[in-house]
Amino acid sequence: MAPTHIGPGHRPTSFRPKNRTILATSARTVRGRAPVGMPVNRIGGVGAPSRSGPRPTGLSSLPAIEDAVALALETLELLQRRAHEVADGFRWSRVGEANRGLSEIVQSTGTLLRLAMAAAHATGADLAVLCTTHGTRIDQDTCSAVDRLIALQFANDWAGLADTLEDDFTPALSQWRFVFEALLSPDDDGGQAA
């Protein structure tokens, strides 16, 4: 075998990082799908309008909001089902699997709440008003339930965690259906016709 000059203090002299060129094109194609237009000149960041002009009024001019709300309603159902599965996992001592599921639920719930805030902002609705029903605040109930879940997880109280998932978290989560449905008709109590 031939000796090499590589030792503990050797540094490669011909190493160069590879740079990939990112092309800014107006459309990207995916095999089997129609081209998807990508905004190239967006200077305001994600969430900022890509074109200037007056803000559209009414939900009929905001199909993205309708799609987002429909996705949120589907996600609510999936989260409620997943919460029951995770609760069963804690009850049947499948703690590792259940903890991973709980992490998914908490992250997905955070995403869902951010979606509600973005949709309310886009439609001009007052989210605080939409979240208030019968003297209780849906957003505060949800956050309190998530806080209890985390505290019970740190305490290794798996039975309490399972009960909290089904008795507190799932009912609080189901109330968000009313918020998202109200976002579909922003001219009601919480919205403003711009």
Residue 194 pLDDT greater than 70, yes or no:
no
Chain segment 110-123, per-residue pLDDT in tens: 999 999 998 888 88
- Label residue 103 by pLDDT band (50, 70, 90): very high
> What one-character DSSP code corresponds to residue 151?
H
**Helix/strand/coil for 24:** coil
Q: What is the pLDDT of residue 136?
A: 79
CA distances from 99 to 96, 109, 150, 167, 174 (A): 5, 15, 10, 18, 22
Give pLDDT tens digits for 1-43.
555 555 555 555 554 444 444 444 434 444 444 443 333 333 3
pTM: 0.62
Q: What is the DSSP string of 153-171?
A: HHTT-HHHHHHHIIIIIHH
pLDDT digits (tens, 9 = 90+) for 159-184: 999 999 999 999 999 999 999 988 88
pLDDT band at 191 (very low <50, low <70, confident <90, very high): very low
Q: What is the pLDDT of residues 57-102, one digit of tens each?
A: 444 446 788 888 888 999 999 999 999 999 999 999 999 999 999 9
Identify the pLDDT of residue 122: 86
Whole-angstrom distance, CA of residue 29 vs CA of residue 38: 10
Pairing state of beta strands 132-133 and 36-37? unpaired
Q: What is the residue type of 156?
A: N
Number of helices (H), then strands (E), belonging to the chain: the values are 7, 4
Domain segments of the chain as ranges:
62-184
* DSSP track, 77-121: HHHHHHHHHHHHHHHTT-HHHHHHHHHHHHHHHHHHHHHHHHHHH
Report the pLDDT value the prediction gives residue 139, as an integer from 0 to 100: 87
Return the higher-pLDDT residue of 169 and 188. Answer: 169
Alpha carbon distance 85, 90 (integer Å): 9
pLDDT at 124: 87
SS3 state of residue 134:
coil
Q: Dump pLDDT digits (tens) for 117-166.
A: 988 888 888 888 888 876 778 989 999 999 999 999 999 999 999 999 99
Q: Rounded to whole angstroms, how far apart are CA atoms 165 and 172?
A: 10
DSSP letters for 45-57: -TTS-SS-SPPP-
What SS3 class is residue 10? coil
Topology at the third CATH level for domain 62-184? Four Helix Bundle (Hemerythrin (Met), subunit A) (1.20.120)
**86 exposed, middle or buried (CB, 10 Å; 0-12, 13-18, 19+)?**
buried
Of 114, 143, 132, 144, the C-alpha closest to 182 is 132
pLDDT at 6: 52
Nearest-angstrom CA–CA distance, 59 and 183? 9
